[in-house]
Amino acid sequence: MRTWTKEEITELYHKPLMELLYEAASVHRKNFDPLEVQVSTLVSIKTGNCAEDCGYCPQAARYNTGIDTNELMSLEEVIQKGKDAKAAGSSRVCMGASWRNVKEDDDFDQVLEMVRSLNEMDLEVCCTLGMLTENQAKRLANAGLYAYNHNLDTSEEYYKEVISTRGYEDRLNTIDNASKAGITVCSGGILGMGEKDEDRIGMLYTLSLMNPRPASVPINALVAVEGTPMEDQQEVSIWEMVRMIATTRIVMDTSYVRLSAGRTQMTDEGQALCFMAGANSIFAGEKLLTTPNPEFVGDMALFNNLGIKPMPAYKHGPKPQINEAYKERSEEANEKIKWSRPGHKIERNEAKKAEAKASRKGEFEPRKVSSVEKI
């Protein structure tokens, strides 16, 4: 495994795009079948009312985004979602809950049963549940979890301009806890939040230093949702996405590179370029937690045009074995786990929080939509 310096990644990122594409495609072919793409389904098992202040996220309770919230799904609902995903061609189901961190309670016990049930359907099971202790990671591993998603989002330097309610170190510790439990890690970031090229490079550099490296690296384009602090951010261009995916493919040569949020903004030709650049995983289905996503039918039509086929489950790793020890709560259940709260204020986040508060009190006049295209 090559060790990259930040200067080397910077030089790579700024290569002429055609040269970068060729190199990325070559690296891709050395490590993967270029005609296979992993298809994952993302299921929001608990939506909204999140205590965090992530500037990009419509699930933050402090912002007024109009999303439909729901409490934790039932086990039966999740099993049906798994059956639907598998029938449509997904080999992985990722369950997302809008929690700040996992707690040793009945809800977590229910999630563990969901993990076990999906594992028994021969699906790769992934979760994204917020911050996670080492013992909680062990329980998830024992229940049959294959992967844990916890994105870095951006560089450590720019992170403080996006989120003020949790520290960057907490993200790194959660990833480390999942790795220690033998769970593969899924971690990447979001383009289009106002970051600079050096922040994208810095995030990649941090990911490249992890041991083991993340098995999956999602590259998201910001979906600017009205009511969030980032609602007016400019849409990321396809050229930026292709450049970032190509650079990620070369640096993270044996990791899946997942083309994630923002695909609805791309043409089929743009997505084809991303696959050429080394993307070999997608989220399929009509929603990514709370934002739109291309439907299965459209994805399969694109796959047919490109000669791509869905990747089978567990092609690059064994199916986790279930250990009944997952049912045993740890001593942490009686302790208050301390996660950091940096405490600084982000001006745009505070402004949107105040706007939402005024709106709920009936003091804020909603802005007028000037054209149908903006609805």
Q: DSSP letters of 269-294?
A: HHHHHHHHTT--EEEESSEETTEE--
What does the pLDDT look like over 68-118, one tens digit per residue? Answer: 788 899 999 999 999 999 988 899 999 999 898 999 999 999 999 999 999
For the beta carbon of residue 158, count every other beta carbon within 10 angstroms: 20
Residue 369 domain-assigned? no
What does the pLDDT look like over 24-35, one tens digit per residue? Answer: 999 999 999 999
Domain count of the fold of the chain: 1
The answer to whether 102 touches 135, Cβ cutoff 8 Å, is no
Residue 333: predicted pLDDT: 60
Give the residue with greater pLDDT, 230 vs 117: 117
- pTM for the full model? 0.90
Query: What is the domain range of residue 317?
Result: 6-321+329-360
Residue 1 domain-assigned? no
| Active-site residue set | 50, 54, 57, 94, 126, 186, 258
Residue 365 domain-assigned? no
Residue 368 domain-assigned? no
Percent of the chain with pLDDT over 90: 68
Whole-angstrom distance, CA of residue 140 vs CA of residue 134: 10
Annotated binding site: 50, 54, 57, 94, 126, 186, 258
Give the residue with greater pLDDT, 232 vs 218: 218
Whole-angstrom distance, CA of residue 107 vs CA of residue 250: 40
Whole-angstrom distance, CA of residue 123 vs CA of residue 87: 11
Residue 367: predicted pLDDT: 45
What does the pLDDT look like over 143-200, one tens digit per residue? Answer: 999 999 999 999 999 999 999 998 999 999 999 999 999 999 999 999 999 999 999 9
pLDDT bucket at 234, cuts 50 / 70 / 90: very high
Q: What is the DSSP string of 316-338?
A: TSPPPPP-GGGGS--GGGGS---
- Minimal CA–CA distance to 96: which of 255, 260, 339, 318? 260
Residue 133 has pLDDT above 90, yes or no: yes
Residue 125 domain-assigned? yes
Residue 26 domain-assigned? yes
The answer to whether 160 touches 344, Cβ cutoff 8 Å, is yes
What stretches of the chain adopt beta strand conformation (E)? 36-46, 92-97, 124-128, 147-149, 184-186, 189-191, 216-221, 256-259, 281-284, 287-288, 291-292, 309-310
Burial of 34 (C-beta count, 10 Å sphere; 0-12/13-18/19+): middle
Residue 372 domain-assigned? no
Taking phi first (over 0 means left), then psi (-120 to 50 degrees means alpha), and beta for anything else, what does residue 153 get?
Answer: left
What does the pLDDT look like over 329-367, one tens digit per residue? Answer: 877 665 667 788 887 998 888 888 888 888 777 654 454
Contacts 24+ apart (CB under 8 A), 168-175: 169/340, 170/131, 170/339, 170/340, 171/131, 172/206, 173/131, 174/130, 174/131, 174/132, 174/148, 174/150, 175/148, 175/150, 175/210, 175/214
The answer to whether 186 touches 218, Cβ cutoff 8 Å, is yes
List, in order, residues 6 or more apart from 224 with CB less than 8 Å away.
Answer: 192, 230, 231, 232, 233, 235
Place of tokens 């202790």: 133
Annotated binding site for [4Fe-4S] cluster: 50, 54, 57
Most confident of 250-259, 260-269, 296-305: 250-259
Which CATH number does the domain housing residue 91 bear?
A: 3.20.20.70
- Minimal CA–CA distance to 60: which of 45, 48, 47? 48
Annotated binding site for [2Fe-2S] cluster: 94, 126, 186, 258
Residue 78 domain-assigned? yes
